[in-house]
Amino acid sequence: MSEIRKIVKVFLASPGDLTDERKAAKGVVDEFNDLLAEEFGYQVDLVGWEDTVSAYGRPQETINQELRRCELFIGLMWKRWGTPPDKEGRYTSGFEEEFSISVEKRLKEKKPEISLFFKIISDDLMLDPGEDLKKVLDFKESLIAEKQILFEEFGQIDDFQKKFRKRITTYVRSLKARDKVKHDEQKQTPSIVDDQTGGSKPKKVVQEPPLSSQGTKFLLELISKTENASEPALYSSVEAARFRLLSSFIGTQSNDDMPLGVHDSNLLYLEKKHLNYGRKELFGLAVSGLEFFASNNTPLWHWYSAVEGEKNLLLPFYSQTESTAKRRANAIKAMQLIAEQIPKHLPWYPTKPNDRYLFIDSWFKDDSDTSVRIAALSYLAEYGIESDLEVIHTELNRNDNQTAQAAVGAILRITLRDNREAAIKALYDLQPTSVDVEILEDLFNKGSALSTEFLLKGIHHQNHIVRRIVVKHLYDRCALPENIAESLMSDSDAMVRYTALTSLSDAGRYFSIDDAKKILVSTTNLSRNLLWGTDTIGEDYLKKFKRRRLSKLKDSELEEAVKAEVFILDRDAQLVLEERHFHRHHKRLQAAVDDQCKAEFSQAYQTTIKTYGHGEYAEKVKSIEDVVRKEMTRQKLNII
């Protein structure tokens, strides 16, 4: 394979509130260049404002010069619109100028391609969006109205990385496919040889020998070397590795199917420029890379390219039954990584219909290993279509605990691509006890668009995180019925109990701290605290409830509450007072942080001794001084 790579310049545009996403994008591009650039023949160069050099003149113009050289524009937006690039220009932000230039260039020159990603706006930000966010929302609405440029939404950083990786890989694959079409048109090599009668006949198929000419030549040289050598060290480690490679594909069905090992595979990769490998050897090296793909310690993509893996359907072939379970699962994972679609034409099934389900059915056969099923479900979650749902439901109905979560995830992901409410209804109907949190965030990220009646259907869902999300959405819109809130105060999840308790409290119901403790702090399934055995999660929510109650007190009442605080870990009234009057307490807060709360702990410890004496309790308190002081310091820092 040629070592020459084409450079693909990708411009990344965004306001300044997406620093983490920009870093993640750089990581994705670095990963692509390390793993896939050689296989695709393209190196991605990510360009943005971080990369522009200082130059005389308007800074934005320097950025724009880089932008005009790019062939793919990717814009990221969240809650900020950005600042004007100059005082007298027509653009209200640098992003707007970059986007406008790209659109104008696209209309004139048919490039760059334009992709936009919007980070999901939380419901609380939508309540009071502010001027910046309003501009972002208006921009998004204009895209929807014009229907010219598509965009995607993302939630957490992992979701962004996955979608950004897919966009980069898909774009480069399209470039490679376009180049291949041009190359084939120029080459115009006929595949049929005309006979003298004017008809045609297929080329004669020549059976490939067990060893290539290169492999045979190497073995003959090795034999000659070992016969004539008088020294103990007869051959090098690279020669030994190549010998093992040749032996790995000489055998029959009665022999072990053993690929080349990790160390030998890496030795041969290091020497790839100095050795002439035959076709079977190249396939053997590709199989070795596939065997150890999941551990990322053996090269795959160089050999994948060398054997024209995409053209020869290497990954789809090894995802079938002819291979080991490990290799099959890794082949599906590799297909997912490079966004390789299930092929329409299957050369090794010439008499069978060209049906994607030849693949999918083979992945989910009764004798398929669990690892293959899980890899297949992960692949379909990202690239599956509606007609795949039947086979996924069949897998779910097997009641296999190892594949259940992946099957649910695939069903929800595929359904979500078409209809959000249908996906949430599927979540309600399936009642899975375990669901990927990222999927739930994507399902409910537009909770404000869901009706109260629809949300209420999930109030008693089997999964506690679903209940948390549904209850929180209902509470935020003041639509949690009192009778339901009452029933939720005995829920197994502390956050659900807290939200229900808060809702009833807001509605005018009074709960003392003791009442709240009985509701929030469980006496079963205790998690052990360093100082006492208790439900630490419930205790945290009890503290939250107490601080919420304390925040409604008058200053004089709050100061009395501070005096009543004796327990060393119970400083809620003091923290609320310090936060309310930060200007008055900031010097003391800063001093406490500077000495890591040593003085404050010492004073509180003396109070503990006066109250409880020099007994076992005082010893326990002293033994966890470091933990307590760290927590006190963290609380002070939060206020600052």
Each residue of 275-310: pLDDT tens digit? 888 888 899 999 999 999 988 888 999 999 899 888
CB-based burial label for 10 (10 Å; 0-12, 13-18, 19+): buried
Residue 351 has pLDDT above 70, yes or no: no
HEC readout, 51-105: HCCCCCCCHHHHHHHHHHCCCEEEEEECCCCCCCCCCCCCCCCHHHHHHHHHHHH
Contact partners, residue 315, CB within 8 Å, separation at least 6 = 290, 304, 309, 331, 332, 334, 335, 340
HSE-up of 501 (CA within 13 Å, CB side)? 28
The mean pLDDT of 203-223, rounded to a whole number, is 69
Q: Write down the pLDDT at residue 190.
A: 40
Question: Chain centroid to CA 299: how far?
Answer: 23
Q: Write down the pLDDT at residue 370.
A: 96
What is the DSSP secondary structure assignment for residue 184, as one 8-state letter? H
Q: Write down the pLDDT at residue 363.
A: 94
- The 10 Å Cβ neighbour count of residue 162 is 15
Question: Above pLDDT 70, what percent of the chain?
Answer: 86
Closest CA to 380 of 367, 389, 371, 368: 389
Closest CA to 343 of 329, 362, 325: 362
Q: Which is more confidently placed, 88 or 431?
A: 431
Angle between helices 237-248 and 213-228 (to 10 degrees): 130
Q: Write down the pLDDT at residue 206.
A: 44
Q: Write down the pLDDT at residue 56.
A: 41
β partners of residue 12: 74
* Cα separation, 393 vs 377, whole angstroms: 11
β partners of residue 13: 75
Q: Write down the pLDDT at residue 258.
A: 78
Work out the pLDDT band at 51, boundaries 50, 70, 90: low
Work out the pLDDT band at 525, boundaries 50, 70, 90: low
Residue 485 contacts residue 503 (beta carbons within 8 Å): yes
Closest CA to 541 of 493, 481, 576, 585: 493
* Cα separation, 503 vs 479, whole angstroms: 9
Structure tokens of 629? 């002081």
Residue 399's alpha-carbon distances to 402, 403, 407, in angstroms, are 9, 8, 10
Contact partners, residue 66, CB within 8 Å, separation at least 6 = 11, 47, 51, 52
Q: Write down the pLDDT at residue 560.
A: 86
Q: Write down the pLDDT at residue 230.
A: 58
* Cα separation, 357 vs 344, whole angstroms: 10
* Cα separation, 102 vs 70, whole angstroms: 9
The mean pLDDT of 407-417, rounded to a whole number, is 96
Residue with tokens 């992992």: 158
Q: What values do phi and psi take at 190, rounded to 5?
A: -70, 145
Structure tokens of 609? 């001794």
Work out the pLDDT band at 244, boundaries 50, 70, 90: confident
Residue 45 has pLDDT above 70, yes or no: yes
Q: Write down the pLDDT at residue 586.
A: 86
The pTM assigned to this predicted structure is 0.73
Residue 406 contacts residue 378 (beta carbons within 8 Å): yes
Residue 558 has pLDDT above 90, yes or no: no
Residue 22's alpha-carbon distances to 96, 150, 289, 530, in angstroms, are 18, 20, 31, 41
Q: Write down the pLDDT at residue 34.
A: 87
Residue 523 has pLDDT above 80, yes or no: no
Q: What values do phi and psi take at 46, rounded to 5?
A: -85, 125
* Highest averaged pLDDT of the listed ranges 1-5, 315-319, 362-366, 406-410: 406-410
Q: Write down the pLDDT at residue 178.
A: 80
HEC readout, 319-351: CCCCCCHHHHHHHHHHHHHCCCCCCCCCCCCCC
- pLDDT tens-digit series, residues 417-463: 989 999 999 999 999 999 999 999 999 987 888 999 999 999 999 99
Q: Write down the pLDDT at residue 184.
A: 61
- The 10 Å Cβ neighbour count of residue 625 is 15
Q: Write down the pLDDT at residue 50.
A: 62
Q: What 3-state class would DSSP assign to 115?
A: strand
Residue 181 has pLDDT above 80, yes or no: no
Mean pLDDT of the chain: 84
